[in-house]
Amino acid sequence: MNELQIVMVLTSGATLLGYLAARILRIQPTIAILSLSLLVVTAAHALEPIVGHFTLYDHIAQFIESTNFRSILLDAMLPILLFAGATSMNAEYFKKHQLTILSLATLSTICSTFIIGYGFFYAMNAIGVSIPLLHALLFGALISPTDPVAVVGLVKQSNISPDIEAKIAGESLFNDGVGIVIFFALSELAFSSGSQQLTTSSVLAHFFYEAIGGAIIGTITGYLCQQLISHEIDHAHNHILISLFIVTGVYTLTNAIHMSGPIAIVICGLMMAHHTSKSPKDYKPLTYFWESLEEILNMVLYLLIGFEAFLMPFTSLSLMIALSSISLALITRIITINLPMYALSHFQSFEPKTKRILIWGGLRGGLAVALTLSLPEIPHKDIILIATYAVVCFTTIVQGGTISRLLRNN
C-alpha cells in the first residue's frame, strides 16, 4: 500500500470505530479506539507463542515502525487541533481565570518536569536501569504537560461548569507549549555537540525568547484574523479559508524562526473565540468546520497511538517501568495542582471538587508519544518510550473513562 492508501485506510477505520463507539457503546470515541487498538495488540502478543507470527502482524508492525509519528503530529495535526480547541473555549471564562490557568500552565509544568525527572531517575536506578539524569529530566518535560487533544475532547463531552472547564482546558492548551519549549531546551543540553557552551542563563533566555515571541506573534495574527473575517461577514466559506491560512502560516512561521508555534496558535485561537462569540450565528459554519476536523483528526491520532503498542516489548521489566511511571505521574500531578491552588485560594475561591477534577483530568496523549519518538537513538530511548506509553494509556483509558462519575457528582 502506498502512503495515500494508508492515510485513507486509517481515516476510514478511525471514523468507523468512532461512530460505532458513540452510537453503540456511548463512550468517548478516542477512549474506545485506543482501548480496542490495545486489545488487538495484546491478543496478537498472546497468540504469538501458539500460532507463530501473523503476516498481518508483521505488516502492521513494519508500517508503524516506518510511520513518522512525530512529524504527523507536531508538524501537521498539532496546529489544527490546538486552534480548534482554543476556538471552542469560552474566552470570557478564560479571562476570568487567567491567573489560575497561567500558574498551572507555567509554574506547575516547570515543577512537574523536575519532580518527575528526578523521581524517574531514582526509580529507574532502584529497579536496575541506569539512566542519565538529563535523560530522566527529558521524560519529565515531555510527560508533564496535559495533552490538549485529550483534555479538550473530554471537557466538550462532559457536563462540567464553565469555570472548571476554563481551568482544565486552558491549562492543557497552554502547558503543552511550555512543555515543548522546556523539552527542546533540555534536549540542547543533553545532545549538544559541545561546540556551543550552554548555561542556565542561555537556556532561560532561549525559553523566554520562544514563549514570549510566540505570544507576540499569536496576538498580532489573532488581531489580523479578526479584521479579515469581519470584512467577510456574508461569506462563510471565506471564514474557513482565512482561518486555515492563518493557522498553517503562523505555525510554520513561528517554528521557522524558533519561536513557540503552539503558544502562538492558542493565543490566536482564543482571540478568534472572543470575536466569534459576539455573533455566534454568523460564524456557525466556521465553528462546525473546526469541530468536525478536530474530531476526525482525534480519532486517527488515537488509532495511531494504539497501534504504536506493536513496537512495545512485553516483559517483566516493562511492567515495572510502567507501574513506576504511572505512580510517579499521579503523585506529581497531585502535588503540582494542590500547591499553586493552595496559594491562589488566598486571593480567590474555587468550586467544590475543582482540585480533584484537575488532578484526575490530567490526561496525556499523542504529544508525549511524539516528543519521545523525536529523541535521537540514545541507549535509554526504549525505556522512556515504555514509560511514556504507560502513562498515556493509563490516563486516557482509566482516568478519561472514569472521570465522568466524578463530574456527574460535581
pLDDT of residue 223: 92
pLDDT band at 1 (very low <50, low <70, confident <90, very high): low
Q: What is the dihedral of CA 94, 99, 100, 101, to 10 degrees?
A: 50
In the numeric block, the cell 495533552 is attached to 147
Distance of CA 111 to the CA centre of its chain: 18
Phi, psi for 97 (deg, rounded to 5): -110, 25
Q: Are 263 and 215 in contact (CB under 8 A)?
A: yes
Reported as a single tens digit per residue, the pLDDT across 49-60 is 665 555 555 666
In degrees, rounded to 5, the angle at the alpha carbon of residue 407 between the alpha carbons of residues 151 and 405 is: 105
Question: Between these two residues, 312 and 261, which has the higher pLDDT value?
Answer: 261
Residues 6 or more apart whose Cβ sits within 8 Å of residue 133: 117, 118, 121
Q: Taking CA 66 as the corner, what is the angle to CA 60 and CA 69, rounded to the nearest 5 degrees?
A: 100
Residue of 194 and 349 predicted with greater confidence: 349
Out of 19-23, 228-232, 270-274, least confident range = 19-23
Contact 110, 178 (CB under 8 A): yes
- Who has greater pLDDT, 13 or 142? 142
pLDDT of residue 153: 65
Compute the average pLDDT of residues 160-165: 78
Using a cut of 0.75, tell me whether the model's pTM lies above it.
yes
Q: Which of 175, 253, 273, 166 is nearest to 213 (CA)?
A: 253
In degrees and rounded to multiples of 5, residue 147 shows phi and psi of -80, 125
pLDDT of residue 55: 58
> 263-277 pLDDT, tens per residue?
899 899 889 888 888
Please report the pLDDT score of residue 322 as a whole number.
92
Cell of 250: 503562523
Number of domains making up the chain: 1
Q: Is the pLDDT of residue 195 over 50?
A: no
Q: Name the residue range of residue 46's domain.
A: 3-408
pLDDT, averaged across the chain:
82
Please give the average per-residue pLDDT across 226-231, as a whole number.
85
Report yes or no: 317 and 379 within 8 Å, Cβ to Cβ: no
Greater confidence (206 vs 61) lies with 206
CATH number of the domain to which 235 belongs: 1.20.1530.20
- The mean pLDDT of 148-169, rounded to a whole number, is 73
